[in-house]
Structure 1
Amino acid sequence: MRTHGWGGAKPATDEEAIERILDAASQAIDERGGDMRIADVARSLGVSRQTVYNYFPGTNTLIEAAATRSSVRFLDRLAEHLAGMTDPVDALVESLAFTLEWLPDDKHVQLMLVHDFAKASTGVTSELGIRFGHGLLAGLDVDWASLGLTDADLDDLAEYTLRILQSFMIDPGRPPRTGEVLRAYLRRWVAPVLMAEIASHRV
C-alpha cells in the first residue's frame, strides 16, 4: 500500500485508500463536474498526483470509478423506492420520473449517462450508460420473462429509457416537469410503447 502524505492520516489498506480517493473525486465532481483533475483530488488528500496515479492511471478512469460507485448507490435507492411495484407501466414510469427528479443533484450519474469514458466522447449508449439502463430495469420487481420479453428486448428497452433520460437532461422543458405532471406526461407517451411491445409477444 502507498502511504505517502494523506495529510497525516494514512489509510490502513489499499481498499481504504481507494475509498478516500473516490470520496475526494466525488467532491471534486460536485464542484467541477467533468472538468475535475487529478491535481484537485491529490491536493484535497494532501498527497502527490503520483500517489493518485498509483491507484487510478488517468482522470477518465477515476471519474468512471466515482460515477460507477455513485450510480450503484442510486440504483439501490431506486430499487428500495420501487419495491413491490410489479405493474410494468407503473414501474417504468416511476423509475424514469424518480431518476429525472434525482439527476439535477447528482453530477456523477449525469456524467455516467452522457460520457463514453473509453472513447472520451459523449453518448447515452456508452458502456456505462447501458449498464445503468440494465441496472434500472433489473431493479424493478417486474417479471419481464412472464410478459414475453427476452434479454434482447430488455437491451432495447434499456436503450429506449436512456434516450428518454438524455433528452430530458438536455432540455427538461419550460418549465421543467416534476411530480404528477411529469408522471402523467411519461405515462401518456411511454405506456403505449411498452404495452404494444408486451402485446406483440402475446400474439
Structure 2
Amino acid sequence: MRTHGWRGQPPSDADEARARILTATRTRLSEAGTTSTSEVAELIGVTRQTVYRYFPTTGDLLNAAAADAVIGLEAQLIKHVVEHLARTGGDAADAAVEIVAYVYEHLRDDPALNRLMAPGRISSTVAGLTTPSAIALGRDWLAHFPVDWEAVGLVGEAQAEFVEHLLRTLQSFVVDPGEPARSGAELRAYLQRWLAPALRR
C-alpha cells in the first residue's frame, strides 16, 4: 500500500485506508449532497489514483459509502430505540413504531443512504428489503432491544413474520411517502394507530 500523501498521516493498512476514504466520502455527501472521486481525494490529501486503488469508479465509491451508512444505521437504530424506550417507558409496540419511523427517516435524509433510493436503484433496494437475509438481520436487531418479544407472542416463525411485516411497512413508505409526506410526528401517529395494535392484543 502506498502511503504518499494522507496529509502526513498515512494509514496503517488497507482497511484503515478504505475506512478513511469512506469517512471522507460521507463527509462530502453530508456537506454537499453529492461528491466525486477528485473531491474525496483532495479532502484526505491523496491523488485520485490512490482512491481508485480501493474504489475503481466513483459509482463503486458511492455504493460503498451507502453500504457503510447501512452498517452505521444499525448501531444508531439500536441506541436510539433503547434510549427511546427508557425515556418513554415504551412497550414492544412503541419499539416497532420507532424502528420503522427511524429507519425510514434515515433512508430519506442521510445523503449516503439516499444512494439506495436513487433512480435506477430503488427497485432493487426495495425488493431487497424483504429477502431472507434482510429478515434474518431484522431478527438479530430485535434481540438488541430491551423488549420481551416472546411475551407478546413473537416466537420462532411468528417473529420472522413480524420482521417481514415491519420491512413491508417500511417498503411502502419508501415507494410512496405520500403527498405531502408525513412529518415525523404524523408518521409515528399513523404507525401507532395501525401498526402498534398488533402487539397490544
**Fold equivalence (TM over 0.5):** yes
Q: 1:190 aligns with which of 179, 184, 195?
A: 195
| Distance verdict in 2 for CA 1:141–1:130, change over 3 Å | same
Q: Which residue of 2 aligns with 1:157?
A: 162
Q: Which runs of 5+ in 2 are unaligned?
A: none
Query: What amino acid does structure 1 have at the position aligned with 2:194?
Result: W
Q: Which residue of 1 aligns with 2:70?
A: 68
The offset of 1:175, in angstroms, is 5.6
Question: In structure 1, what is the Cα distance between the partners aligned to 2:136 and 2:73?
Answer: 10
Residues matched between the structures, number? 190
Q: CA deviation at 1:88?
A: 1.7
Question: Does residue 1:25 correspond to 2:18, yes or no?
Answer: no
Cα distance in 2 between the residues matched to 1:140 and 1:61: 29
Unmatched segments (≥5 aa) in structure 1? none
1:121 aligned residue (114, 121, 124)? 124
2:111 & 2:195 partners in 1: Cα distance?
25
In 1, Cα distance between equivalents of 2:103 and 2:70: 15
Shift of 1:185: 1.5
Question: Are residue 11 (structure 1) and residue 11 (structure 2) matched?
Answer: yes
The alignment partner of 2:195 has SS state of helix
Deviations 1:110-152 (A, max 9, x none): 445x58xx9x933253468556644553343222234332343
In structure 1, the partner of 2:44 is: 45
- Identify the match of residue 84 of structure 2 among 82, 87, 90: 82
| Residues 145-183 of structure 1 deviation map (CA, whole Å, 9 limit, x = unaligned) | 34332343333322322232233344254262332x433
Query: What is the TM-score with the length of structure 2 in the denominator?
Result: 0.68
Q: Matches of 2:115 and 2:141 in 1, distance apart?
A: 16
SS of the counterpart of 1:82?
A: helix
Q: 1:178 aligns with which of 166, 184, 199?
A: 184
Structure 2 letter corresponding to 1:46: G
Deviation at 1:16, TM superposition (A): 3.4
Give me the whole-angstrom Cα distance separating, in 1, the residues matched to 2:127 and 2:136: 11
TM-score (norm 1): 0.68
Deviation at 1:67, TM superposition (A): 1.9
Given that residues 21 and 45 in structure 1 are in contact (C-alpha distance below 8 angstroms), is that contact kept between their aligned partners in structure 2?
A: yes
Percent of residue pairs identical: 35
